[in-house]
Amino acid sequence: MSEVSERALSPESAGTAPGRGRLTGRRIVVVGAGTRPSDDPGAPFGNGRAIAVLAAREGASVACVDIDRSSAERTADLVRAEGAEATVIEADVSDEDACARLIAEAVEALGSIDGVVANIGIGLGGGLAGTTARQWDAVFDVNVRSHFLIAQAALPVLGDGSSIVLVSSIAGLKPGSRLPAYDASKAAIFGLCRHVALEGARVGVRANVVVPGLVDTPLGRLATAGRPSRGTTRVPLRREATAWDVAYAAVFLLSGESSYITAQSIVVDGGLTTIG
């Protein structure tokens, strides 16, 4: 398998399909809306940027949140190019106070919010012997604690019909990353989501998980460079996902099309975890 598809991409997977008004009037917060810097002039979007841009294309105003302000600003420019309102919030989600602040700033900038996407994660260490307790804690601070804190801050300000989307990974379903803290933290997202969905149901707020497999992003390409076997993984659909594939799953869960779906997971992996 290579980064280039063995099959022609659909307009949706290529990111060229027109918007259909699925999020018209909604106000969405995308945490992790930037894309990792790359020297490759043809580098693809990261998942968070694709989610933010697609949400805008579908009619939403978007708060672009990232630790890298310049990257978030670039995403905001792309959101505005879709004709949507954008605001930029710089936040380091490993900081407890920043998680509450980013929600408060999004509400102030957009007037209110109807959806939150937590698209954030890091991986540190290497194998059990190569992972320190400090690295383990740092990964869980970003990959799980931040999702908890963001949901905690968002739930009281989200109204009936709103949606929280947490982004996990197939590393939370089966081993493969060789990073025990990453795998364990991504598995924890499913348990957190169930609880958020339980509390959210009382006020009409849904919570679900998008579970990407191998995705062609700048970070994905870096991972393949470090572990070439990643690039030869036999995916049943014979290609990596694009960030747009992940974005369409997230937008579905943000939209009214999924208004009776909560506490569930959508696995975007080309069949890798089930028939691969």
Give me the pLDDT at residue 225, please: 66
**What would the pLDDT profile of 35-68 be if each residue is shown by its tens digit?**
988 777 788 999 999 999 999 999 999 999 999 9
Instruction: Check if 182 is active-site.
Output: yes
Give me the pLDDT at residue 39, please: 76
Q: φ, ψ for residue 33 (rounded to 5)?
A: -85, -5
Q: How far apart are the first and last CA of the chain?
A: 13
Q: What is the mean pLDDT of residues 172-179?
A: 89
Give me the pLDDT at residue 83, please: 98
Both structure tokens of 249 = 């799953």
Q: Is the pLDDT of residue 196 over 90?
A: yes
Both structure tokens of 19 = 């918007």
Give me the pLDDT at residue 241, please: 95
Give me the pLDDT at residue 4, please: 42
Give me the pLDDT at residue 224, please: 62
The mean of the pLDDT values for the chain is 93
Give me the pLDDT at residue 91, please: 98
Q: How confident is the model at residue 229 (pLDDT cuts 50, 70, 90)?
A: low
- 46-49, long-range: CB within 8 Å, 24+ apart, which pairs? 46/217, 46/218, 46/219, 46/243, 47/119, 47/167, 47/212, 47/215, 47/217, 47/243, 47/246, 47/247, 48/75, 48/117, 48/119, 48/120, 49/74, 49/75, 49/78, 49/243
- CATH code, residues 23-269: 3.40.50.720
Q: How confident is the model at residue 1 (pLDDT cuts 50, 70, 90)?
A: very low
Give me the pLDDT at residue 7, please: 63
Q: How many residues does the chain have?
A: 276
Give me the pLDDT at residue 40, please: 78
Q: Is the pLDDT of residue 234 over 70?
A: yes
Q: Pick from 149, 167, 144: which is nearest to 46 by CA? A: 167
One-letter amino acid at 54 equals: L
Cα distances (Å, whole numbers) of residue 148 to 118, 143, 190: 10, 9, 12
Q: What is the mean pLDDT of residues 162-172?
A: 97
Q: Is the pLDDT of residue 19 over 70?
A: yes
Q: How confident is the model at residue 148 (pLDDT cuts 50, 70, 90)?
A: very high
Please state, in angstroms and rounded to a whole number, the distance separating the CA atoms of residues 73 and 87: 8
**What would the pLDDT profile of 112-145 be if each residue is shown by its tens digit?**
999 999 999 999 999 999 999 999 999 999 999 9
Return the percentage of the chain with pLDDT > 70, whole number. Answer: 94
Give the active site residue among 76, 151, 182, 245: 182
Q: Is the pLDDT of residue 30 over 90?
A: yes
- 73-76, long-range: CB within 8 Å, 24+ apart, which pairs? 74/34, 74/35, 74/49, 75/30, 75/33, 75/34, 75/35, 75/48, 75/49, 76/33
- Asked if 158 and 205 count as a contact pair (C-beta separation under 8 A), the reply is yes
